[in-house]
Structure 1
Amino acid sequence: MTKKRKSLKYNFIIYILRTLVVTCSSLLIFPYASRMLGVAPIGKVQYIQSIASYFQLFASFGVTTYGIREGSKHRDEPVLLNKLIIELIVINFICTVISLIAYGLFTALFIPDTYSKLLWVFSVYIIVYGLNFDWYFNIYEQYTYITIRSVIGSLLSLVVVFLFVKSPQNYLIYAVSIVIPYAVSFILNGGEIVKNLTRVQLSLKSIMRHLKPLTVIFSVIVATNVYSLLDSSMLGAMQGDMSVGLYTAASKLTRLASTFVTGIFGVFTPRLTYYIGLGNKEEYRKLATKIARLIMLGGILISVYMSVFSRQLITLYSGEAYLAADPAMKILSINFLFSIVDCYMGWQLLVPNNKESVMLKATIVGSVIDVLLNLLLIPRFNVLGATAATFAAEISVFILLFLNCRHMVKLNSVKRTVLKTLLSVGVTVVGIYALQLNVLNWKMALLVVLPLALIVNLILLYLLKEKTILEVCDEIRSRISTRKYSKNQ
């Protein structure tokens, strides 16, 4: 495998393609599966997946984040990097084995036998997710390989669902389709790693030195995931599979959007960490600010339009049987914006700068708030209560993270982007409500009104001279001019 570092623009485009394929696959799978299976079977699968996800977190034990951070700093030291990677693989393997044993004991004691087949499927999920080794390829910025592999896994999952999920009794096959992409990653990544790593002499001391920072990062990941996993788990335990199914319909699209945005901008993490390793603070701040502007511009647009057209999106994505989840989705659409900003501040500003302890404190506060509010609100407000708890937790995390990392970017530049984006989207949303376009059927709303609104937004942003839009337009003009010049030559 070539270790040559590609340009950031190339990596960004490749990662957009990867994220689009994975997201489109999910956008096709869930609407089909939700209609074929119904609310309760979807809730059943989501309930067991949420439980397995806790053990999957321990299986990976923060190795992905820590590996990218430390590996990117030593990208130009192959011997040291090779040793680091092997040490982390050993830790990863041990944690996965412990996690699998704990999962078996927990489910045997606390989960009814009616879920036994699903429990077996998601035991495989724990193994292949815990040992997916994606962090290895992120260190080397091998995004072309990651993209090809992701496409293979997503297409296989798609084929399985459309061929074999035909009735509510096929919920087990749907569960298998969730595991398939991770299994493909596990198999293909493992083969590549075996070919590229060389043997080293390991010692207990050299392995143990990673445990303290890994434990802190793992704690952050656990705390962060509590209010994305706990809601489904607590709803399932307190209200049943039907409530989990509705909550899944409300949260699935916002989580897909969050995965899409954070996945795309995650491509910059190794380069940011590399600049930190070089001590190049100016390049780091410049890139961090550019990412912040992009996130705020895209995040505000996605957040607002998901809220405005939440009813149509649920109808398209899950079916009319799930429309009771509409109020919850409106709240989660706004929560999406804070979620991606929190992710950016934590994983791309604080963690690369070895300030994961700050993120840990913020996420612990958010997790405690989420648990307490879930206990208070779910019995009375059901799905809406879980949604409100998540939103309150996310806001608290946002405040604490912002106070600790606002100096790491050029805040005035980001503020200008936020104000101009809010102004442009405000104009279009007022127009949509004034003309009552938000009550149109989902086909007209999503295929006609939404694209036109986005075009108007981009035109307004250009007229307002928003920096990110101007940079994109300049890049397009430059490429067109270069091509014309090349043809004339």
Structure 2
Amino acid sequence: MQQKSLKLNAVFNFIKSFMNIVFPIISFPYASRILLPEGIGKVNFANSIIEYFTMIAVLGVNTYAAREAAKIRDDKEKLSKFTKEILLFNFISTAVAYILFIICFIFIERFSEYRTLLIICSTKILFFTLGTNWLFTAKEEFGYITLRHTIFQGLSLCLLFSLVHKSEDYLIYAGIGIFSNVGANIFNFIYARKFVNLHQKSTLELKKHAKPIFTFFGVSCASKINSVLDTTMLGFLTGNTSVGFYSAAIKINQMVIELITSTVSSFMPRTSYLLEQNKSYEYQQLVSKVLKITCFFSFPAAAGLFVLSRPLILLFSGKNYLPATSTMQLLTLMILSQTINSFLNNLIITPQRKEKFLLYAQIIALILNLTLNYFFISKWGVFGAGLATLIVETTLPIVKLIPSWKHIKDITNLLSLLKSLTGTIVMFFVISKISVLFKNNFLCIITTTVIGIVLYAVIETLLRNEPAFIVLNLLKNKRK
């Protein structure tokens, strides 16, 4: 099979993630003003609960299946057999997830006031299973993934403005969110026939997948719980309003993190393929380049969001959410830790088949997360949840450096990282002075962002930082 362009894959993933930023930038300000912190808090609390059951249904399959399918993607017969085996695993786990959901739904008293909302959000459990997104990731079909995702995001935006007009419409808002995130997955079965034959007769071997799948399931469990534990505990310990504030604080940070980390994850199938083909040199070169580019973008992104936290909160959420400003500033540091964490997960540990270390790291983080959230939320509320999250997200990549170090030390270019850091520091001080000159939030954000990008680009070019020239060459080639 002809190899797809890595640059094109990264561009498609960047576009997809960029759309994930553009649509919330349009939709969240509208929804947060209509639904207010109370309504946004209810929806996010319900979604945080459903994430636990979705985690059981997905069963950690996505990463494992994408890695293994990437190795046999050129053999349709083997890929078809593998796909059927993974789907069977997923259907069983989905049934278990729904049984557990029904039990909790009936017996947990706290859920009684969220019954309809939880039922709506629970449809996500089934749609995730049907999606088989791992197959398209393994085949590096990022163009299809991006197009499908963008179409459904656009449709969801139309539905939002058409149907959500008052605070009581939070149920409709929740349904639109499900449609936006996983509605497109049902079409994957149709398109999957291009790559696999699900009617092919074959003897299914489920046992050989069990150990790695359940290892990744452990990783997925701990990771998912870590990602929603702050929101869940805020909901139980404080209330919906605090969850609404926290959602406003973390929303924009998460969008920027996804923009960077999704581009990093697009290289995982290729790194797995290169290692399977014993192309160690090409693997090292690719990983080294991705690390430089990751830091090149994450450093200034964190600095820029820190400076613009207040105007961003005011513009996208409104003055009712101003108490979330300090928490958002704190969480900008999470951009650095999560991008490094994604790099270690997708390009070092998973392709090297060291997933057991992912499990150990996530268990450590989970214990730390639960402990810190309990004490910090009780003492400092929303800010405490943010502080606990930041400490946990910083601990994760530090722990994962232990099994990754022998690979990292050979590819790390400290000079490139120092150049990125130097440009970021200069940019930070300049835009900090500029941002206070504006009273209009929109004008402040646009002007400060443009000046920051231009200044950073000029500094990195003058310092002759390699990622700056990679980006310039990519832009030149696109223009041609």
TM-score exceeds 0.5: yes
Q: Which residue of 2 aligns with 1:487?
A: none
Match of 1:305 in 2: 304
User: In structure 2, how many angstroms separate the alpha carbons of the residues matched to 1:411 and 1:24?
Assistant: 37
2:24 paired residue number: 26
Q: Which residue of 2 aligns with 1:75?
A: 73
Alignment partner, residue 128 of structure 1 = 127
Which runs of 5 or more residues in structure 2 are unaligned?
none
Do the aligned partners of residues 433 and 150 (structure 1) sit closer, same or farther apart at CA in structure 2, a change above 3 Å counting? closer
- Partner residue in 1 for 2:208: 209
User: What is the CA deviation profile of residues 13-47 of structure 1, one whole-angstrom value per residue up to 9, with x for unaligned ones?
Assistant: 22222222232112212111001110001000000
CA contact (8 A) 1:369 1:393 kept: yes
TM-score, structure 2 normalization:
0.95
Paired position in structure 2 for 1:472: 471
Q: Write the distance in 1 (CA, Å) between the matches of 2:191 and 2:432.
A: 53
How far did residue 449 of structure 1 move? 1.7
Gap change, CA 1:187 and 1:436, over 3 Å in 2: closer
Alignment of 1:52-451 (within 5 A): 52-110=50-108, 111-194=110-193, 196-201=196-201, 203=203, 206-409=205-408, 413-434=412-433, 437=436, 440-451=439-450
Distance (whole Å) between structure 1 residues aligned to residue 41 and residue 435 of structure 2: 34
Residues 78, 438 of structure 1: CA spacing in aligned structure 2 closer, same or farther, 3 A cutoff?
farther
Conserved? CA contact 1:129–1:182, under 8 Å: no
Q: Per-residue deviation at 1:89?
A: 0.8
Q: In 2, distance between residues paired with 1:275 and 1:309?
A: 41
| CA-to-aligned-CA distance 1:122-152 (integer Å, 9 cap, x gap) | 1111111232111111111111211121112
In the aligned structure 1, how far is the partner of 2:202 from the partner of 2:476?
53
Counterpart amino acid of residue 12 in structure 2: I
Which residue of the partner structure matches residue 38 of structure 1? 36
Q: Which residue of 1 aligns with 2:9?
A: 11
State which drifts further: 240-249 or 254-263. 254-263
Shift of 1:258: 1.4
The answer as to whether partners of 1:285 and 1:410 remain within 8 angstroms in 2 is: no
Taking a change above 3 Å as real, the CA distance of residues 28 and 381 of structure 1, as seen in their structure-2 partners, is: same
Partner Cα distance (1:41, 1:475) in 2: 43
Q: 1:87–1:47: structure 2 CA closer, same or farther, 3 Å change rule? A: same
Over 3 Å counting, the alpha-carbon distance change for 1:199 and 1:428 in structure 2 is same
Q: CA–CA distance in 2 between the matches of 1:21 and 1:36? A: 22
SS at match of 1:397: helix
Contact 2:265 2:342 in 1 (8 A): no
Misfit runs of 4+, over 6 Å: none
Tell me, in whole angstroms, the C-alpha distance in 2 between the residues paired with 1:412 and 1:147.
Answer: 30
Deviations 1:43-67 (A, max 9, x none): 0000000000111111111111111
Can you list the C-alpha shifts for 1:227-261, whole angstroms capped at 9, x where unaligned?
22000100000101011101111111111111221
CA contact (8 A) 1:288 1:409 kept: no
Deviations 1:210-229 (A, max 9, x none): 11101111111221222220
Gaps of 5+ in 1: 484-489
CA distance in 1 between partners of 2:233 and 2:163 (Å)? 30
Separation of aligned partners in 2, 1:141 and 1:172 = 36
The residue that corresponds to 2:462 in the other structure is: 463
> Which deviates more, 191-200 or 208-217?
191-200
The residue type equivalent to 1:451 in the other structure is: V
RMSD, aligned α-carbons: 1.9
Deviation of the 1:412 alpha carbon: 6.3
SS of residue in 2 equivalent to 1:6: coil
Scaled by the length of structure 1, the TM-score of the pair is 0.93
Whichever residue aligns with residue 160 of structure 1, its letter is: L
Alpha-carbon distance between aligned partners in 1 of 2:192 and 2:469, rounded to the nearest angstrom: 42
Q: Which residue of 2 aligns with 1:486?
A: none
The aligned amino acid for 1:250 is A
- Whole-angstrom distance in 2 between the partners of 1:296 and 1:414: 11
Is contact 1:72–1:271 with CA below 8 Å preserved after alignment? yes
Deviations 1:249-302 (A, max 9, x none): 111111111122111222111111110111111111111111111111111111
Paired AA for residue 458 in structure 1: A
The separation in 2 between residues aligned to 1:194 and 1:339, in whole angstroms, is 35
Cα 1:378–1:198 shift into 2, 3 Å: closer
SS in 1 for 2:184: helix
How much has 1:88 moved relative to structure 2? Answer: 0.3
- Does the residue aligned with 1:352 lie in a helix, a strand or coil? coil
Q: Hey, what's the Cα distance between the residues in 2 that align with 1:313 and 1:398?
A: 28
- The 3-state SS of whatever aligns with 2:351 is helix
CA 261–438 in structure 1, closer or farther in 2 if over 3 Å, else same? farther
Identity %: 28
